[in-house]
Amino acid sequence: SEYLDSSDKSGYLSDLISDVEDKINDTEHDVEIAESKNGVPEGIGAAESRLTIAREKLDEARRVEKPGDAIDLLAFAMERARSAQWWATLSCIGSGTAIPDDVLHDRAGRYYSQSASIVAYADALISEAGGSASLVKSAADDLSRARTELQTGYHAGAIYDSLHAMVQAGTAIELIGIADMDEKVNKSERDAMSAIVSARESGAEPILAVSAYEHAKTLAPSQIDQIVDYGYATMVARTAQSFAGHGNRTAMQETNISESIQRIVQVPVKRKTVNKQPVEQSPETPDLNGYELLAVVAMIYLIRKRYA
């Protein structure tokens, strides 16, 4: 590699770090320009999310001890910065509706708060009943990034990372006990396409939703990834419709209460033994974990009822 062939390896690595940092700074400027041109929020959000990741990887590259690890991180950071630049440019194609900063700030805060609750409930449920812990972890990573974006003023990025966290946590809940994955994938695809069509009919062009839909269709490595991508496409398309001024309600996670979740609450949960005496917990006498399980179902029911 160029690094191994270099006579000044330390200087080579320093130059790489400078190149990546310059690219990130240039991309930040491009995002500011896109914002000044009223770029569509989802394009701005996608750019801000990727910029945040690029910054994270650049910081990691500065901390790691092995040069090979640093080079890998820098390569990924550069790719994210270039992708962010592309999204910033794409956001300016077509007419954009000016979204007041206070609206973005308010929605970013609300979505982050809603996402944090859903991720917490999903974590409690998966810990108790089993399921896809990897989805919950990925949702927590999205949530952490959204928090960083709120702190740095990347409100659009915080919106779409919060939405992605909602989708992943909601999917983890929905998949508990699901037997027919094919039908779940097909339904998720239909919902996504319907949301995209509705957004377009309202005058919006949901570029990020279409991207997520196409990724699910052609590149998603598993059915779970397809469900997440289609779910994200649905949420983003509804948000695009809302931003276009034609939606009469806030886009929100619409998670079905599956029969499997109901059974988890209705059937007594076997607890760990205490002093060698098995203790069973039923919905009639819930402890903290029982309340958490009930809270999941209650929250999902209220969301469906409110936004139905």
As given in the structure block, the two tokens for residue 26 are: 């240039």
Instruction: Check if the beta carbon of residue 253 is closer than 8 Å to that of residue 164.
Output: no
Can you give the pLDDT at residue 299? 53
Residues whose CB is less than 8 angstroms from the CB of residue 137 and which lie 6 or more positions away in sequence, other chains included: none
Instruction: List the end-to-end C-alpha distance of the chain, in Å, as a whole number.
Output: 57
Reading the chain (308 residues) residue by residue, the pLDDT tens digits are 687 778 788 898 999 999 999 999 999 999 999 999 888 999 999 999 999 999 999 999 999 999 999 999 999 999 999 999 999 999 987 556 678 889 999 999 999 999 999 999 999 999 988 889 999 999 999 999 999 999 999 999 999 999 999 999 999 999 987 889 999 999 999 999 999 999 999 988 899 999 999 999 999 999 999 999 999 999 999 999 998 873 334 444 333 333 333 333 333 333 333 333 333 333 232 232 333 443 444 355 434 444 44
Helix (H) or strand (E) holding 273: none
* Residue 181 token pair: 């994955």
Listed in sequence order, the residues at least 6 apart from 58 whose beta carbon sits closer than 8 Å to its beta carbon are 17, 20, 21, 24, 73, 74, 77
pLDDT of residue 96: 62
Long-range contacts of 293-297 (CB under 8 A, 24+ apart): 293/124, 293/125, 293/128, 293/129, 293/264, 293/265, 293/269, 294/265, 295/121, 296/121, 296/122, 296/124, 296/125, 296/173, 296/261, 297/257, 297/261, 297/262, 297/265
Secondary structure element (H or E) that encloses residue 11, with its range? helix 9-36
304 and 254 in contact (C-beta within 8 Å)? yes
Within 10 A of 281 (CB to CB), how many other CB atoms are there? 16
Three-state SS sequence of 36-65: HCCCCHHHHHHHHHHHHHHHHHHHHHHHCC
pLDDT on residue 166: 96
